[in-house]
Amino acid sequence: MDFKDWLSDILNECVLSDLDVQRKTGINRSLIWHYKQGTKKPSFQNVGLLADIIATTKGKKEVLSHKQIYMLRLELMFQMYQMLGGSNVD
């Protein structure tokens, strides 16, 4: 699965709209749309912000501990980094 499809799927799974993501991360909604279309790649900073909101949302839904949320965030960052081509992330 490529990043754009994965991001759309996981945001749907977490019931997060582009506007929700913008409000919680500060990432412009237009950029989020481009990420989901595959026309732009997120910066490493934005990968971290996306991982944080996804991990936090999943953590609340699944009642995870702070340590489990932290580990999930790291795992998500690693997955996104790999999907985006490693060192090719802008």
Q: In which region does residue 86 sit, left (phi positive, over 0), alpha (psi from -120 to 50) or beta (all else)?
A: left
pLDDT value of position 86: 75
User: Do residues 27 and 21 lie in contact, with contact meaning Cβ atoms separated by under 8 Å?
Assistant: yes
Contact 51, 73 (CB under 8 A): yes
Beta strands in 9-65 (DSSP E): none
Note the pLDDT of residue 88: 52
pTM for the model = 0.90
Mean pLDDT over residues 12-18, rounded? 97
33-90 per-position pLDDT tens digit: 999 999 999 999 999 999 999 999 999 989 999 999 999 999 999 999 999 987 555 5
